[in-house]
């Protein structure tokens, strides 16, 4: 088995161990950074003393067949370097993975934990069970007692320091999606209750209690959404997930859920809401989740030549069979998958058996019911005569006929973006077809 990450030296504290206090009783693993510029500076100085292991360049070499695929050594070391209040978080977070997630999750990154469920099971149910719901973390899991919990609402404008960095390299696949029933309150009501918006309030910024490292600097997780989205009751503060209290790993005791937007805006472990006059200047907002045009690559990307992603584009994926599966069949291969659109719902799903020249419509009765901002799972019996390697693909049309050209782009290269964020071109898999309706094949199989 290939090592999940390049060789590295064990971590060793240099000099005196720092101590960054937890300020709130019953809020373990939450260190407030945003209120203390001097403390951030101190952390930055500490970080600059170390030679942290480099990130694995998985784009340029095959992924190891390990689970976790990647361990996240660098991020663990960042936390170890910050002293007693953060150094146990990698272990604590992993404990919650074991406690709250299915044992057969695909752990794409152990720390910060990033994981998705097995593909076949994910699209078998319309509602994704909490144990199977994908997890996307940028830091450790804070342990917040519900009876000690509160959150702050502030505004209007807060100045932000900001210094960015590259992505946490988590090799996500098609399972980073789920559909849950959330219980909570519309953020609009909360803001109204607190006295309503002042003139100039345009974006609502959320702060999460986890610690976020970016290019040698330290932050709390922070993102924002336009107030327009709040106004139409599409931003929820949620405390229940599928009728149960939020699991720790999904943001207990309170998280944001923004319907139709990329997951990054749905801030977990919410402790502060701040109304500001422009999008958040925090690094997750300004330096991550950015779309670049196809001309932008590793050699020339800057944060300012991309634009911020908010609404999810129309997207879909084939979840079974898996890429490179050999399939013995009798002239039909069953495909299953999901379809989603951040601007409404998937209206029509089409699958191709030949790489995308001819498309078949998934029949209406083979798609789950449409629900505003929910995915639709689907299945299709693909007629297959040919044998050997075939390329299956899927594309979806949503209610606004998004995206260009009228549906999803056929090839990844037509809408390629550096970082490959929410890449929405037709998803494709290659399978090896072995057709039993061919007498010669049946004979061969018997042999
Ligand atoms: N505080 C905090 N909130 C966060 C994140 C995070 O790392 N910290 N990750 C975001 C991202 S990028 C996604 S996709 C979703 C994932 O939600 P889930 O882990 O509950 O599936 O949480 C979002 N909210
Ligand atoms: Mo995300």
For Cα atoms 204, 208, 212, give the angle at the middle one, nearest 5 degrees: 115
What value does the mean pLDDT take over residues 150-168? Answer: 54
pLDDT in tens, 229-265: 999 999 999 999 999 999 999 999 999 999 999 999 9
Q: What is the pLDDT of residue 169?
A: 58
Q: Whose CA is nearest to atom 20 of ligand 1?
A: 250
- Residue 263 alpha carbon to ligand 1 centre in Å: 6
Structural domain contains residue 216: yes
Tell me the DSSP string of 318-343. EEES-TT-EEEESSEEEEEEEEE-TT
> In DSSP terms, which residues pair with 341 in a beta bridge?
none
- Rounded Cα distance between 119 and 303, Å, is 33
Chosen domain end from 288, 304, 325: 288
> In DSSP terms, which residues pair with 395 in a beta bridge?
350
Q: Same domain for 148 and 236?
A: yes
Q: Same domain for 338 and 231?
A: no
Tokens of 384: 């297959």
Chosen domain end from 239, 272, 288: 288
Chosen domain end from 271, 288, 305: 288
Q: In this structure, which ligand is nearest to the CA of 112?
A: 1
pLDDT interval class at 157 (50, 70, 90): low
Tokens of 132: 């199977």
> In DSSP terms, which residues pair with 429 in a beta bridge?
392
Q: Same domain for 195 and 261?
A: yes
Which of ligand 1's atoms lies nearest the C-alpha of 178?
21
Q: 357: domain CATH number?
A: 2.60.40.650
Structural domain contains residue 1: no
**Domain coverage including residue 430:** 315-446
Q: Same domain for 106 and 217?
A: yes
Structural domain contains residue 210: yes
Tell me the DSSP string of 165-226. ---------TT------EEEEEHHHHHHHTT-PPTT--EEEEEEEEEEEETTEEEEEEEEEE
pLDDT in tens, 318-354: 999 999 999 999 999 999 999 999 988 999 999 999 8
Which of ligand 1's atoms lies nearest the C-alpha of 289?
12
pLDDT interval class at 115 (50, 70, 90): very high
Q: Same domain for 68 and 33?
A: yes
Reduced to 3 states (helix: H, G, I; strand: E, B; else coil), residue 268 is coil
Q: Same domain for 327 and 252?
A: no
Q: Same domain for 169 and 276?
A: yes
Q: Is the pLDDT of residue 161 over 60?
A: no
Evaluated on CA atoms 96, 84, 268, 122, the torsion sign reads negative
Alpha carbons within 13 angstroms on the beta-carbon side of residue 87 total 12
The closest alpha carbon to 265, from 231, 243, 289, 242, belongs to 289
- Residue 172 alpha carbon to ligand 2 centre in Å: 10
- Rounded Cα distance between 337 and 192, Å, is 40
Task: Name the residue of 109, 137, 211 to mutate for ligand 1: max ligand atoms within 8 A of Cβ.
Answer: 137
Q: Same domain for 186 and 331?
A: no
Q: Same domain for 319 and 266?
A: no
Tokens of 407: 């549906």
Q: 73: domain CATH number?
A: 3.90.420.10
Structural domain contains residue 95: yes
What domain count does the chain have?
2
Task: Name the residue of 115, 128, 264 to mutate for ligand 1: max ligand atoms within 8 A of Cβ.
Answer: 264
Q: Same domain for 337 and 281?
A: no
Q: Is the pLDDT of residue 289 over 70?
A: yes
Reduced to 3 states (helix: H, G, I; strand: E, B; else coil), residue 256 is strand
pTM for this entry: 0.75
Burial of 37 (0-12, 13-18, 19+ CB in 10 A): exposed
Structural domain contains residue 47: yes
Q: In this structure, which ligand is nearest to the CA of 180?
A: 1
**Sheet hosting strand 270-276, strand order edge to edge:** 152-155, 270-276, 203-214, 217-226
Structural domain contains residue 361: yes
Q: Same domain for 222 and 367?
A: no
Q: Where does ligand 1 bind, in terms of residues with CB under 6 Å?
A: 133-139, 208, 210, 221, 250, 263-264, 266-269
Q: In this structure, which ligand is nearest to the CA of 97?
A: 1
Q: What is the pLDDT of residue 279?
A: 96
pLDDT in tens, 62-75: 788 899 998 999 99
Structural domain contains residue 301: no
Structural domain contains residue 140: yes
- Number of H helices and E strands in the chain, helices first, is 9, 23
pLDDT in tens, 88-111: 999 999 999 999 999 999 999 999
Q: Whose CA is nearest to atom 15 of ligand 1?
A: 263
Q: Same domain for 138 and 263?
A: yes
């Amino acid at each position: 088995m290939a090592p999940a990450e390049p060789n590295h030296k064990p971590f060793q504290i240099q000099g005196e161990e720092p101590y960054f206090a937890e300020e709130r009783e019953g809020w373990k693993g939450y260190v407030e950074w945003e209120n203390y510029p001097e403390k951030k500076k101190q952390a930055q100085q500490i970080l600059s003393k170390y030679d942290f292991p480099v990130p694995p360049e998985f784009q340029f070499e095959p992924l190891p067949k390990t689970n976790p695929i990647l361990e996240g050594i660098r991020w663990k070391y960042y936390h170890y370097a910050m002293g007693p209040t953060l150094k146990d978080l990698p272990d604590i977070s992993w404990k919650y993975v074991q406690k709250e997630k299915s044992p057969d999750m695909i752990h794409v990154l152990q720390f910060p934990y990033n994981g998705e469920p097995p593909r076949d099971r994910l699209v078998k149910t319309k509602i994704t069970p909490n144990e199977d719901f994908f997890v996307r973390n940028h830091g450790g899991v804070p342990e917040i007692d519900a009876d000690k919990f509160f959150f702050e609402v502030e505004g209007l404008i807060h100045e932000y320091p900001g210094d960015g960095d590259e992505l946490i390299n988590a090799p996500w696949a098609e399972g980073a999606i789920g559909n849950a029933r959330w219980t909570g309150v519309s953020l609009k009501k909360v803001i109204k209750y607190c006295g309503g918006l002042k003139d100039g309030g345009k974006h609502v910024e959320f702060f999460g209690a986890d610690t976020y490292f970016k290019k040698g600097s330290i932050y709390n997780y922070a993102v924002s959404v336009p107030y327009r989205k709040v106004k139409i009751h599409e931003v929820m503060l949620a405390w229940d997930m599928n009728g149960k209290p939020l699991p720790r790993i999904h943001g207990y005791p309170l998280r944001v859920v923004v319907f139709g937007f990329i997951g990054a805006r749905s801030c977990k472990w919410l402790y502060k809401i701040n109304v500001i006059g422009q999008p958040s200047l925090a690094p997750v907002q300004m330096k991550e989740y950015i779309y670049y045009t196809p001309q932008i690559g590793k050699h020339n990307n800057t944060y300012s030549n991309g634009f911020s992603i908010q609404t999810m584009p129309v997207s879909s994926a084939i979840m079974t069979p898996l890429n490179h599966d050999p399939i013995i069949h009798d002239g039909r291969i069953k495909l299953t998958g999901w379809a989603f659109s951040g601007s409404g719902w998937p209206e029509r799903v089409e699958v191709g058996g030949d790489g995308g020249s001819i498309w078949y419509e998934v029949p209406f009765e083979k798609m789950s019911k449409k629900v505003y901002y929910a995915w639709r799972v689907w299945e299709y019996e693909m007629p297959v005569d040919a044998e050997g390697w075939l390329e299956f693909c899927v594309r979806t049309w949503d209610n606004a006929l998004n995206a260009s050209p009228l549906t999803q782009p056929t090839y990844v290269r037509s809408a390629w973006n550096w970082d490959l964020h929410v890449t929405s071109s037709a998803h494709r898999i290659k399978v090896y077809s072995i057709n039993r309706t061919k007498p010669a094949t049946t004979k061969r199989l018997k042999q």
